[in-house]
Each structure stands twice: as C-alpha cells, then as structure tokens.
C-alpha cells in the first residue's frame, strides 16, 4: 500500500464517520440532507481513489465520483447562499442554477465516457487538458461561492459558517493549485496527488465544528466526558512524548560528547514532567473544566434560566417578601429546596434577614471572619461538599473556616452577593432535591451571574426605600417651611396690632379690626395644624372680584401702618377671576410686603390693574433696592433663596408662583439694582358670571 492509498483511505474513513454521526440527528432540513449526501459521496470517492492507487487500474469511477462530489458540495453552497441572500434568490432561481450546473457537469463527462469506451486511449487520453480545465473551473466556482456565502452572511451568524468556509475553501484552493499546476505542465504532480487524501481528511474536523455550532445541524450523539478527558489526555501525552523524543534525538546527534548524557537527562525530565502533570489534581481539574467549557454543549438553556429568574424575582406580590423571592429565584436554578439570605448591616456584621423553606439562625457573621474574607477576596461559590472532600482546593486560595451553623443547617452552597466588587451579603442553599445532582463550573458561573444581578436588585430596593423615606422627610420639611413662613406673616400682622394697640385701644373701629385680624389668624393656624396632622384639605375655587380683594388688602396695609403705603390704580372697576380668596390675599400680601421691605419709607409702591386679551394683569412696582438679573434668573423662585438675609425664609416667591400657576397664570419679574422692581401677575379672567 503506497502513501497515496493511505491518505485517501484516511479521508474515506473520516467522511464515513462524519456521515454516520450526521445520521443520528433528528433535524432533517434541506441543507442538512445535502450535507449528508456530500459527505457520503466524498467518502465513496476517496475510497475509489484509494482502490485505484493500490491497483493502478484505469477505472472511470473515480472521475465520475469526483464530479458528483464537487456538484454535491456546490449545491450545498448554493442552498446556503440562497438563505444568506434571503428574498433575493427565489426557489425557481435556485433550481435553475442547480440545473445549469448539472448540464455543465454532464457536458464535461462526455469526454470521460468517450475515453472509457475507447480502450486504445491512455489514462487521460487526448482529453487530458479538457478534464483538467473542467476540474479547475469547478474549483473556481466553489471558491467564488464560498466567498459570496461568507460576504453575504450577517456578521452575527458568520461564527457558525466560518469553519465550514475554511474547510471547503481549503479543499477548493488545494484543488485549484493542483489542477492549475497540471494544466500548466500537462502532467499531474504525484506528490500533490497523493497528499490530496490527507488534505481532504483535514477538512472534516472543520466542517464538524461548523455543524456543532449550528443548533439545527448539531448531532445528538453523546460521548462521555470521561472518555473525552482520558482520550484527550492520552493524545496530548503522546504528542508531548513524540515532541520530546524528537528533541532527544536532536540532542543526541548534535550534542557532541554530551549528547548521550543530555538525551538521558531529557528523557528522565520528560517522563517526570508528564507524571507530575497526570497526577496533579489542580491541573486535572483545570483540564476537565477546559474540556467541558469548549467541547461540550452547555447543560443550561441560559435564555430560559434568565427569563425564569427575572419572572420570579420581579413577580407581583403573592404573599412572599422580596427577599424570599430572591432566595427562590437562585435556589430554583440548582434545584435547591430552600436557603437563607444574609445581608451586611451598618454595624459591619452580616445577619440572616430572610429564609425560605429553612429555619433562619439568629447568629451573626463578623466581617473579620474567614468566610467573609474568603468570599470578598475570591468572589465565587463555595461548595461545602467539595470543601469537606478536597479542602486543599480552597485552602490554597486563602484561609477558610466555616461557622458551625453551616453544617447544622446542612448547607450545600454559599453564593456571594457581589455589587460592584463589594460583598453585600451571601445566600446559603440547601442540598438539591435531585440526589445525583453534581455541582460543576457551569453551575458556579450561572449562580455567580444571577447572584450579581440579585445583588443589584437588593441594593436598588434599599436605595429606593431610603429615597422614599427621604422624600417623606422632604415633604414634611417642605410643609414645615410653608408653615413657618405663614406663621411669620401672622406674627408680623399681630406685631403691628400690638404696636398700635396703646395708641388706638380706645377706638372702637380699631378694636373691631383687631378682633377680625385675630380671628383670621386663628383660622389660619387651625388650617396649618390640620395640614401638619396629615389631613387632606380640599379647596374649591370660587369666582372673586379681584378689585375688591386688592382694595381690602390695601386698606388693611394702611391700617397696619406699614410704609411706604401702597397705592392702587385700576383701569377697571370690576374683574372676576377664579381662585381661593385666602391664597390670593396671601400672595399679593407677600408681594406687597416684599416691596415694603425693599423700599425706603419715602419710596413708592404702586399697584396697577389692567386687562389684556382675556388676562388680568396686576403690576406691583416699587422704587426699592432691586435685584440682580442673575438672582432673578437662578434663585428668586427657588426655595430658601432670599435677599433678606436671616430675616427671610426664601419661600414666598416660590409659593406665589406655584399658586398662580395652579390658576393657569404666571408671574414675570423685571428689576434693576438701585432702581426698583416690577412684579407682573397674569391671571385668566373668568366671565362665567
């Protein structure tokens, strides 16, 4: 048996095994059937080539089978290209392309048949150049189709077809080189011809990788992980020994007088290194994880697991607390019946705050304990069973002494809750309900991933609760600020009464105003007390004559004795608006009070009332100190910003704008430092009466 026969035999065996594996798959699409046919034809062709290489016969069968093999692979590429093009290639167009290729190949077979029937012809006869050109053209067609397939496949799907394109592309490129060389020199290079079988055998693993990566092509044959591990280890050891053997011979032949000594030393070193590798638990464990990660399908459907996790942890209230759902969402992944959730407290220790289907212990875990330090440093799941059986696996990563309660509750796994590299807590899970449930690297990776997401949910929930509490305090503080502001106004009014009481206490009209003012103050204070107690007070807006309201306000200001005394100048005698009288009195009273505070006693305060396009326009002008443009733009209507220093609360302007806005109006301010200020209040006119 020559080397060509060996190469083609290996190729035939490789394609035959690949064909048998494909038959185990239940998915039978059009592309899958074409792949099966192409693999079978490739195996039969390689077998015929091996037979021809052994016997030296001039059979026509290898020539016919080579054309059949080529057309089967090209048909597969056309089918896949039609899918890549989408709607660009119809079924009719695809069938026309297949028919054209069949006619083309049939035309190329004519001289082959003629040669076979003409016994006087040589192996390739007078049609030698024609056959070479035909095979060369088929190679070019295959290369073009592969290039088009890869180019027109979407980027996210190229990972699936990449190895298929590499394998078939390598086969066609080699054929192109071999036939172009033969066509150029009018003879077949026997070295290339014999190596062709080995080359075709090499493409089988590449096509196999493409099949594994495509879920619609992936076969359902099962190979034990132990078989893969031991076989791979054996092959790796063989390659290692062969490499070191070649190195040993090189050292012996070129090492001079030290050659034999160096060879003996290298041989001993090789065997010792191999034994250390094979008997190292750490290396074997990492090697198993590597094989499981890269040579086997994942045991979880991650899409389903993720959707189930999100559904569980975010489900509506069904009697379970959020923390119980957090435990359940992680426990159900590993088929654990229940567990405990431990979270870090402000004092620095970790406390069990919730449990599911397990009794929660009242013991605490210190931040300085070896368990917390180990979880914080390594950030991976601790298997208590593995720790008991192989403590050295964990101890080489740091000291780890589990608390006594871990074994008291029959804990199985301890899952860290990591949020931005910070250990906020951990979850302790009970043993799985499935007795043969094995915990491996994939379980650990999945639990770590969902635990990080759960930690984010927990932190987000805690921050939301803190924010809600802060908003409650903010609302209370805001209400208190409004109350203090209103009380300040009431105190101002009562102070004016007491300052004028000695002078006008004998005046019946003054006493009547005093009683009325005090009664009004009491009513306002009662309203404030009800607000403070959390009672909701609904106010119904009524139609108000704004001119009467402003006249009343000005008269009260004159009686109170504040200076400068405001002057009301109105272009109209009556104008109705809809609102709350007390609020409007408070707003305009505040604006007038601000004008009086900013204006000297000999200054002027004018209240101008007019109408414009359905709006009531009230301008309050003063000749006071004014405000800067920056203060008006950025601070005037913001709470707690004031130009009065410690005498002001900085809430009046903000409250005034909010109330006017609720009436559908607005407030506009113009001011100049040292020249005065103009507040322009616009309120919609109500013509319902």
Q: Give yes or no: residues 9 and 59 share one domain.
A: yes
Q: Are strands 615-622 and 676-684 parallel, antiparallel or unpaired?
A: antiparallel
Domain that holds residue 562: 538-684
pLDDT, one tens digit per residue, over 193-204 is: 888 888 888 888
CA distances from 295 to 32, 222, 290, 335, 682 (A): 22, 12, 8, 25, 76
- 481 is a domain residue: no
pLDDT, one tens digit per residue, over 82-96 is: 776 554 444 455 555
Q: Give yes or no: residues 117 and 231 share one domain.
A: no
Q: Give yes or no: residues 346 and 429 share one domain.
A: yes
* Cβ(340)–Cβ(359) below 8 Å: no
- 268 is a domain residue: yes
pLDDT at 228 over 60: no
Between 618 and 278, name the one with better pLDDT. Answer: 618
- 31 is a domain residue: yes
Angle between helix axes 30-55 and 190-213 (nearest 10 degrees) is 160
- 474 is a domain residue: no
Helix (H) or strand (E) holding 75: helix 61-85
Q: Which of 270, 295, 320 is the last residue of a domain?
A: 295
- 519 is a domain residue: no
Phi, psi of 353 (to 5 degrees): -105, -15
Closest residue by Cα to residue 334 from 445, 179, 244, 416: 445
Tokens coding 588: 């305009």
* Cβ(105)–Cβ(67) below 8 Å: yes
Taking CB atoms within 8 Å and a gap of at least 24, the contacts of 435-439 are 437/334, 437/335, 439/334, 439/383, 439/385, 439/386, 439/412, 439/413
* Most confident option among 89-103, 129-143, 629-643: 129-143
* Cβ(163)–Cβ(210) below 8 Å: yes
pLDDT at 298 over 60: no
Distance of alpha carbon 342 from alpha carbon 365, whole angstroms: 9
* pLDDT class of 429 with cuts at 50, 70, 90: very high
pLDDT at 619 over 90: yes
Q: Give yes or no: residues 251 and 320 share one domain.
A: no
* Cβ(544)–Cβ(584) below 8 Å: yes
- 159 is a domain residue: yes
What is the domain count for the chain? 4
Averaged over 161-190, what is the pLDDT? Answer: 84
* Most confident option among 216-220, 333-337, 437-441, 514-518: 333-337
Residues with Cβ within 8 Å of 182's Cβ and at least 6 positions away in sequence, in order, are: 132, 188, 189
* pLDDT class of 281 with cuts at 50, 70, 90: low
- State the pLDDT at residue 520: 75
Distance of alpha carbon 642 from alpha carbon 506, whole angstroms: 39
How many whole angstroms from its chain centre is CA 389? Answer: 37
Q: Give yes or no: residues 453 and 345 share one domain.
A: yes
Q: Give yes or no: residues 135 and 196 share one domain.
A: yes
* pLDDT class of 426 with cuts at 50, 70, 90: very high
pLDDT at 125 over 50: no
- CATH number where 109 lies: 1.20.1070
Q: Give yes or no: residues 661 and 633 share one domain.
A: yes
Place of tokens 């009431």: 490
Phi, psi of 383 (to 5 degrees): -95, 115
Of the listed ranges 97-111, 294-308, 326-340, 661-675, the least confidently predicted one is 97-111
pLDDT, one tens digit per residue, over 567-602 is: 889 888 888 888 888 788 888 888 888 888 888 888
Averaged over 649-668, what is the pLDDT? Answer: 79
Residues with Cβ within 8 Å of 496's Cβ and at least 6 positions away in sequence, in order, are: 560, 561, 562
pLDDT at 651 over 70: no
Distance of alpha carbon 350 from alpha carbon 373, whole angstroms: 12
pLDDT at 230 over 60: no
* pLDDT class of 621 with cuts at 50, 70, 90: very high
CA distances from 463 to 316, 460, 529, 627 (A): 20, 5, 32, 40
Q: Give yes or no: residues 71 and 195 share one domain.
A: yes
Distance of alpha carbon 201 from alpha carbon 15, whole angstroms: 7
Q: Which of 394, 423, 457 is the last residue of a domain?
A: 457
- State the pLDDT at residue 476: 63
Closest residue by Cα to residue 203 from 175, 167, 173: 167
Distance of alpha carbon 160 from alpha carbon 166, whole angstroms: 11
pLDDT at 109 over 50: yes
* Most confident option among 181-190, 206-215, 483-492: 181-190
- 503 is a domain residue: no
* Most confident option among 94-103, 112-121, 434-443, 559-568: 559-568
- State the pLDDT at residue 183: 79
Q: Give yes or no: residues 168 and 197 share one domain.
A: yes
- State the pLDDT at residue 661: 87
As a residue count, the chain comes to: 689
* Cβ(197)–Cβ(2) below 8 Å: no
- State the pLDDT at residue 218: 46
Q: Are strands 411-419 and 422-430 parallel, antiparallel or unpaired?
A: antiparallel
Q: Which of 441, 457, 473 is the last residue of a domain?
A: 457
pLDDT at 38 over 60: yes
pLDDT at 664 over 60: yes
- State the pLDDT at residue 221: 41
- CATH number where 404 lies: 3.30.450.40
Distance of alpha carbon 671 from alpha carbon 655, whole angstroms: 20
Please spell the DSSP secondary structure of 489-530, one letter per residue: HHHHHHHHHHHHHHHHTT-HHHHHHHHHHHHHHHHHHHHHHH
Distance of alpha carbon 684 from alpha carbon 575, whole angstroms: 10
How many whole angstroms from its chain centre is CA 231? Answer: 39
Tokens coding 201: 């055998």
* pLDDT class of 250 with cuts at 50, 70, 90: low
Q: Give yes or no: residues 311 and 441 share one domain.
A: yes
Q: Give yes or no: residues 158 and 278 share one domain.
A: no
- CATH number where 673 lies: 3.30.565.10
pLDDT at 640 over 80: no
Q: Give yes or no: residues 229 and 201 share one domain.
A: no
The model's pTM:
0.41
- 251 is a domain residue: yes
pLDDT at 658 over 70: yes
Please spell the DSSP secondary structure of 233-291, one letter per residue: HHHHHHHHHHHHHHHHHHHHHHSGGGHHHHHHHHHHHHHHHHHHHHT-HHHHHHHHHHH
- State the pLDDT at residue 531: 63
- State the pLDDT at residue 124: 41
Distance of alpha carbon 328 from alpha carbon 337, whole angstroms: 8
Averaged over 673-684, what is the pLDDT? Answer: 90
* pLDDT class of 219 with cuts at 50, 70, 90: very low
């Amino acid at each position: 048996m020559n080397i060509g026969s060996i190469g083609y035999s290996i190729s035939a065996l490789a394609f035959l095994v690949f064909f048998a594996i494909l038959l185990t798959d239940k998915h039978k699409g059009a592309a899958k059937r074409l792949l099966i046919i192409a693999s079978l034809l490739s195996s039969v062709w390689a077998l015929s080539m091996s037979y021809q290489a052994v016997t030296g016969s001039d059979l026509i069968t290898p020539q016919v089978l080579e054309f059949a093999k080529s057309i089967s692979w090209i048909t597969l590429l056309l089918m896949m290209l039609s899918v890549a093009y989408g709607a660009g290639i119809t079924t009719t167009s695809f069938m026309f392309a297949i028919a054209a290729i069949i006619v083309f190949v049939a035309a190329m077979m004519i001289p082959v048949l003629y040669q076979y029937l003409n016994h006087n012809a040589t192996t390739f006869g007078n049609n030698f150049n024609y056959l070479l050109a035909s095979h060369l053209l088929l190679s070019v067609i295959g290369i073009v189709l592969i290039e088009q397939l890869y180019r027109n496949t979407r980027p996210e799907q190229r990972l699936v077809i990449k190895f298929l394109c590499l394998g078939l592309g390598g086969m066609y490129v080699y054929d192109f080189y071999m036939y172009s060389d033969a066509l150029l020199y009018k003879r077949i290079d026997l070295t290339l011809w014999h190596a062709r079988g080995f080359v075709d055998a090499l493409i089988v693993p590449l096509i196999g990788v493409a099949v594994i990566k495509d879920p619609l092509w992936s076969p359902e044959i099962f190979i034990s992980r132990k078989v893969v591990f031991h076989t791979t280890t054996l092959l790796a050891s063989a390659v290692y020994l062969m490499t070191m053997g070649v190195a040993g011979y090189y050292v012996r032949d070129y090492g001079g007088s030290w050659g034999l000594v160096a060879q003996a030393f290298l041989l001993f070193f090789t065997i010792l290194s191999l034994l250390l590798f094979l008997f190292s638990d750490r290396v074997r464990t990492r090697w198993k994880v590597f094989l499981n990660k890269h040579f086997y399908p994942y045991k979880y459907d991650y899409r389903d697991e993720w959707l189930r996790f999100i559904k569980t942890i975010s489900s509506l209230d069904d009697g379970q607390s959020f923390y119980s759902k957090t435990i359940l969402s992680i426990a159900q992944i590993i088929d654990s019946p229940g567990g405990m959730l431990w979270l870090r407290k402000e004092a620095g220790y970790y406390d069990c705050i919730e449990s599911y289907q397990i009794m929660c212990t009242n013991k605490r875990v210190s931040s300085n304990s070896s368990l917390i330090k180990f979880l914080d440093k390594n950030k991976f799941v601790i298997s208590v069973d593995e720790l008991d059986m192989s403590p050295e696996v964990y101890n080489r990563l740091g000291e780890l002494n589990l608390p006594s309660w871990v074994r008291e509750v029959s804990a199985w796994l301890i899952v860290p809750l990591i949020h931005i590299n910070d250990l906020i807590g951990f979850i302790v899970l009970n043993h799985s309900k499935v007795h043969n449930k094995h915990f491996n690297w994939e379980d650990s990776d999945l639990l770590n991933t969902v635990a990080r997401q759960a930690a984010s949910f927990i932190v987000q929930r805690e921050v939301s609760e803190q924010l809600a509490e802060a908003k409650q305090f903010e609302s209370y503080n805001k209400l208190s600020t409004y109350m203090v502001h209103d009380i300040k106004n009431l105190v101002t009014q009562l102070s004016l009464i007491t300052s004028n009481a000695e002078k006008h206490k004998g005046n019946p009209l003054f006493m009547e105003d005093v009683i009325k003012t005090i009664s009004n103050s009491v009513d306002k204070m009662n309203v404030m007390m009800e607000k403070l107690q959390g009672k909701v007070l609904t106010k119904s807006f009524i139609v108000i004559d704004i001119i009467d309201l402003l006249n009343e306000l000005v008269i009260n200001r004159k009686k109170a004795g504040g200076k400068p005394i405001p002057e009301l100048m109105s272009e109209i005698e009556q104008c109705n608006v809809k609102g709350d009288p007390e609020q409007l009195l408070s707003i305009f009273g505040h604006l007038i009070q601000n004008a009086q505070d900013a204006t000297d006693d000999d200054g002027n305060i004018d209240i101008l009332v007019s109408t414009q396009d359905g709006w009531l326009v009230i301008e309050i002008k003063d000749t006071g100190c004014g405000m800067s443009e920056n203060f008006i733009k950025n601070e005037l209507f913001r709470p707690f910003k004031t130009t009065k220093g410690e005498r002001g609360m900085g809430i009046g302007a903000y409250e005034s704008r909010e109330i006017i806005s609720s009436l559908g109006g607005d407030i506009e301010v113009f001011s100049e430092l040292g020249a005065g200020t103009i507040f322009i209040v616009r309120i919609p006119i109500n013509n319902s009466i």
